[in-house]
A = this chain, B = another copy of it.
């Protein structure tokens, strides 16, 4: 195989499995090439990926080392994405009766959720988490794409305990915004005690869901090390959790007939 074929192959394999470590041996065997040759190939791949502005190839030294692809979205790419998404969310046809915003198409859009997942990964990459956790339903696509970008397992909490979940831990909690009692439940099989989790959700108003998830995790001896949402409301400014990262903000609208204003979070991940 020629160098041009090896580099193309390395880039495809690495970028399709973000965060997964591939040993140098993996590539020397695949190509039947010497280590020094593959090392030179990888140096070229690093330069190519860096130029694209949405990730990097990282070398991990040592006997258990190798190379991996890490999504790391540049400020320019994030700003373009925020503008594109704000424009879509500000379409007047999205405002439903009662001032609610129709977002389901966006929250399950493969392109949107993939890009958002990479932005969450850029924010939370260095926290060495073990899981991404969300609660059904509308945050699942975002959480899955974040889990893929971070190379982590995804755990989805349910509203009701299901027979197919085995033994579950459940709590009732009060929604921060509506004041209504809600339930969440998680399979005990799905989390190992003494680990760390990142919570991802579609939307945060009062922070009740995120706070409830963190409480459940804490009962299972899992530490919440980060919280990311696609959209957070500006009001109430004080939420039930601190230290959450929204990609977009939703401005308050006292009058349900007023337009809805979605705008970028200017703080970069």
**Using Cβ atoms and an 8 Å threshold, which residues of chain B touch A110?**
144, 147-148, 151-154
> Please, how many angstroms separate the alpha-carbon atoms of A166 and B105 in the complex?
12
Which residues of B are found within 8 Å of A97, using beta-carbon distances? Answer: 166
Q: Smallest distance from the beta carbon of A175 to chain B beta carbons, Å?
A: 13
Cβ–Cβ contact A12 & B9, under 8 A: no
Partner of A164, one of B15, B104, B163, B165: B104
Answer yes or no: A156 CB below 8 A from chain B CBs.
Answer: yes
Tally of chain A residues near chain B (CB < 8 A):
56
Given A136-B136, A140-B140, the answer on whether A148 and B114 have CB atoms closer than 8 Å is: yes
Q: How far is B1's CA from A51's CA once the two chains are assembled, in angstroms?
A: 11
Known: A137-B156, A155-B108. A9 touches B51 (CB 8 A): yes
Q: Is there an interface contact between B165 and A141, defined as CB atoms closer than 8 Å?
A: no
Q: Does A80 contact B (CB under 8 A)?
A: no
Q: Does A109 contact B (CB under 8 A)?
A: yes
Please indicate the chain B residues that have their CB under 8 angstroms from the CB of A35 in the complex: none
CB <8 Å contact, B4 and A163: no
CB atoms of B105 and A153 under 8 A apart: yes
Output the nearest chain B residue to A17 by Cβ-Cβ distance: B111
Whether the pair B48, A102 counts as a contact (CB closer than 8 A) is no
Contact for A12 among B52, B111, B152, CB less than 8 A: B52
B-contact 0/1 string along A189-203, CB 8 Å cutoff: 110000000000000
| Most-contacted residue by chain B among A4, A15, A156 (CB, 10 A) | A4
**A98 vs B163: C-alpha distance in the bound complex, in angstroms?**
9
| Chain B contacts for A15, CB-based, 8 A | 12, 15-16
- Least distance between A23 CB and chain B CB atoms (Å): 18
A225 on the B face (CB < 8 A): no
Taking a contact as CB atoms under 8 Å apart, the answer to whether A7 and B9 are in contact is: no
Within 8 Å CB of A165, what residues of B?
A: 102, 104
A105-B155, A109-B154, A140-B140 provided; 7 other pairs, C-beta below 8 A? A5-B48, A8-B8, A104-B156, A108-B144, A108-B153, A111-B148, A140-B141
Report, nearest first, the 5 A-B pairs whose CB atoms are least far apart. Answer: A110-B148, A8-B48, A108-B154, A136-B137, A96-B166
Show 17 residue pairs from A and B whose CB-CB distance is below 8 angstroms, ordered by the A residue.
A8-B48, A9-B51, A12-B48, A12-B49, A96-B163, A100-B163, A102-B187, A102-B189, A105-B189, A108-B144, A109-B153, A110-B147, A110-B152, A137-B137, A137-B156, A140-B140, A141-B141
